[in-house]
Amino acid sequence: MGLQGERTKSWFQRACQVMPYGISSNFRYWGDQDTLVVQRAKGAHLWDMDGKRYIDYRLGFGPIIIGHADERVNQAVAQAIEDGTLFAWTTTAEVELAERIIRLTGVEMVRLANSGTEATMQALRIARAYTGREKYVKFEGHYHGSADYFMYSTASASLNMLGSPRSPIPAPMTSGMPTQIAETVIIIPFNDFELLEKTLRARWGEIAAVFVEPVMGNVGGILPQKEFLPTLRRLCDEYGIVLVFDEVKTGFRIAKGGAQEYFDLKADIVTYAKALGNGFPIAAIGGKREVMMTIVPGQVSQSGTYNGNTVAVAASITTLDLFEKEPIYEIIQQRGQALMKGIDEILSDHDIDHALTGLPAMFGIFLGSAQPPQNFRDYLKGNSSLYTQLVRGLAQRGVLPDIDGREPWFLCAALSEEDVQETLNALNDTVRELKQQGKLK
């Protein structure tokens, strides 16, 4: 039985008449019986068209960090639109936001954009213009948005597309891309010190940038090994390569200052989106002054009609203000730890081989081995079909992580202790049911 109730189903069918697969973004499709149509969301919960309530761990794929429809954020937006939304001039709010981002993250300058993809595209251009080189290094399973340059060896690839781990090949993720651009990307497995060092030593003269998700936000939150990011920093310094932290998922989530704070390291360029706006579309490209000043009108382009619009800026200022005034991170940390511990205990009690990956604010559940995966290839060896069955059981019980285990569980500060307990009860019941049905060995 699918997840859709009667009204949800009928709206989904109507959606399919006018939008391919009834959705506006491919990752939202859970199949014809399970794709939801949502009525509204508040705090940590969302409701489908049949009024069924879910505890939401997808949180729009990460942006909701305070909670859905937060009144303080909404009020700020309502007030801002009274004075207009878009002027194609600088506003004081925009300056204030840039100052706040700089204060929280330690970047030296920022430019605003509207989505993670815009931010990463522009970061790559800045890095190329800064170095005068064209290629860039990308790690397997990392996702940097839907621009053609980035759609290689993402988390959607299967093992047989990736080539040998000693000489990985760029696996294209979609039709419709010019074949030649594959030549501009150099693929390396995450946490592979040896291949990283060998590649940068041999090819640094062609490499503009290394892009990295400091925590693998698109493959279960896999963490870098202890010295991996410092090694990356050292090698990029040695060879004049721009180090780009893609913090679209980790930024303002794993710490106020994101991965730069968490790992105590500075990148040359950092991209932010998602939690920067608590659900409003906003992104930022930040970085060292010298690198950011590569942007020059008429010479190096960074532009966008909606950049700095007052709606998104007001939402973002209020969100960042709440980070400084309220214990947002403490709450998320506590709830996340309780969930990870509870999940670990339930799976252990039922003898299910597993490892919890990632951090409390965005964690993953790896099934099939107790050995946590170190990279995307390890992850692909896990038991993803069991994960899907677990999530189906959870969703039927009103708990909604993504059906795809590569997508981490995201937490927001509106998640209560009761929500955590309800989630763990639902997991316990699901595991028992699967056991009764003989679906667990």
* 15 CB-side CA count, 13 A: 19
Question: In terms of CB distance, is 217 or 224 closer to ligand PLP?
Answer: 217
Question: In terms of CB distance, is 364 or 393 closer to ligand PLP?
Answer: 364
In the complex, the smallest distance separating the C-beta of residue 121 from ligand PLP, rounded to whole angstroms, is 9
Question: In terms of CB distance, is 121 or 431 closer to ligand PLP?
Answer: 121
Question: In terms of CB distance, is 276 or 424 closer to ligand PLP?
Answer: 276
Q: 26: burial class by Cβ within 10 Å (0-12, 13-18, 19+)? A: exposed
Please answer whether residues 400 and 56 qualify as being in contact, where contact means their C-beta atoms are separated by less than 8 angstroms: yes
In the complex, the smallest distance separating the C-beta of residue 273 from ligand PLP, rounded to whole angstroms, is 5
DSSP letter assigned to residue 216: B
Burial 381-414 (b: 16+ CB within 10 A, else e): ebbbebbebbbbbbbbbebbbbbbbbbbbbbbbb
In the complex, the smallest distance separating the C-beta of residue 151 from ligand PLP, rounded to whole angstroms, is 11
Place of tokens 């430019």: 111
Residues in the chain: 441
Please answer whether residues 373 and 379 qualify as being in contact, where contact means their C-beta atoms are separated by less than 8 angstroms: yes
In the complex, the smallest distance separating the C-beta of residue 66 from ligand PLP, rounded to whole angstroms, is 18
In the complex, the smallest distance separating the C-beta of residue 356 from ligand PLP, rounded to whole angstroms, is 20
Nearest to 307 by CA among 316, 298, 296: 316
* Sequence-ordered strand ranges (E) for 45-108: 45-48, 53-56
Catalytic status, residue 274? yes
Question: In terms of CB distance, is 269 or 426 closer to ligand PLP?
Answer: 269
Please answer whether residues 236 and 245 qualify as being in contact, where contact means their C-beta atoms are separated by less than 8 angstroms: no
Question: In terms of CB distance, is 393 or 405 closer to ligand PLP?
Answer: 405
Sheet holding 185-188, edge to edge: 109-113, 283-287, 269-272, 242-246, 207-212, 135-139, 185-188
Alpha-carbon distance of 100 to 133, in angstroms, equals: 32
Alpha-carbon distance of 110 to 128, in angstroms, equals: 18
Catalytic member of 143, 149, 262, 329: 143
Q: Give the C-alpha distances (Å, rounded to integers) separating 363 from 219, 237, 411.
A: 10, 31, 9
Nearest to 243 by CA among 260, 218, 258: 260
Nearest to 217 by CA among 372, 362, 63, 67: 362
Please answer whether residues 215 and 223 qualify as being in contact, where contact means their C-beta atoms are separated by less than 8 angstroms: yes
Alpha-carbon distance of 214 to 104, in angstroms, equals: 18
In the complex, the smallest distance separating the C-beta of residue 13 from ligand PLP, rounded to whole angstroms, is 27
Question: In terms of CB distance, is 120 or 389 closer to ligand PLP?
Answer: 120
In the complex, the smallest distance separating the C-beta of residue 157 from ligand PLP, rounded to whole angstroms, is 15
Catalytic member of 274, 329, 379, 387: 274
Question: In terms of CB distance, is 117 or 199 closer to ligand PLP?
Answer: 117
In the complex, the smallest distance separating the C-beta of residue 139 from ligand PLP, rounded to whole angstroms, is 11
Which residue ranges make up the site for ligand PLP (CB under 6 A)? 61, 115-117, 120, 143-145, 213, 217-218, 246, 248-249, 273
Handedness of CA 293, 297, 300, 302 (dihedral sign): positive
Catalytic status, residue 143? yes
In the complex, the smallest distance separating the C-beta of residue 166 from ligand PLP, rounded to whole angstroms, is 26
**Closest residue to ligand PLP, Cβ-based?**
116
The tokens for 198 are: 């060998």
Backbone angles phi, psi at 239, to 5 degrees: -110, 10
Catalytic member of 56, 70, 192, 246: 246
Question: In terms of CB distance, is 153 or 430 closer to ligand PLP?
Answer: 153
Give the residue numbers annotated as catalytic, written as ranges: 143, 246, 274
